[in-house]
Amino acid sequence: MADLAFLEAYVAISEVKARYCRTLDTKDWAGYADVFTEDVILDTTPAGGYLTRGREEAVRIVRSSVETAITAHQVHSPEIRLDGDTAYVIWAMQDRVVWGEDRRERMGNYGHTGYGHYRERYVKQGGRWRIAEQELSRLHVDIHMTPPIDMHTRRPG
């Protein structure tokens, strides 16, 4: 049976990741920045992206990529290994991205639904867990070549 310290860390780390998804999808950039350490390493090269270092730069890059997009990030089934004030976590993930008009032509599509994993290192600083390192890899991506249906008008949006 898991000990209380592990369960407390499990819940706290899960809450950090939930905030990560919510603040990213609602474009709450201050809240999004707060889930990371100052020296975070963000590596999306396995998914065709970039490697960036530092919270400010990571938020700038992500924000410039999805600022005008509608996004929905979901994570589940965390595998958590604790080592003192460090945690290593693998999350199964799915993200849905609908590009804003400003990016559709450049991207050559209306968006995607991706499936894969986040591999992360968390550190506990000042009593709070934060993401210190994140790698995104994808197993599969569905590219959407037609516009999504607007849920309010029931027409392509």
Just give the CATH number of 4-144. 3.10.450.50
- Model confidence pLDDT, tens digit, residues 125-148: 999 999 999 999 999 999 999 887
User: Rounded distance, CA 139 to CA 42, Å?
Assistant: 18
**Rounded to two decimals, what is the model's pTM?**
0.92
Using 50, 70 and 90 to split pLDDT, how confident is the model at 2? low
Q: Decide if 47 contacts 116 (C-beta within 8 A).
A: yes
Element (H, E) at 61: helix 55-66
Is the pLDDT at 57 greater than 50? The verdict is: yes
DSSP character string of 3-29: -HHHHHHHHHHHHHHHHHHHHHHHT-H
> Cα–Cα distances in Å, from 18 out to 10, 81, 93, 131, 137?
12, 18, 12, 12, 19
Q: What residue ranges do the domains of the chain occupy?
A: 4-144
Q: Give mean pLDDT, residues 21-43.
A: 98
Is the pLDDT at 157 greater than 70? The verdict is: no
Residue type for 131, please? I
> In the prediction, which pLDDT does 153 show?
77
Q: Give mean pLDDT, residues 101-109.
A: 91
> In the prediction, which pLDDT does 1 show?
46
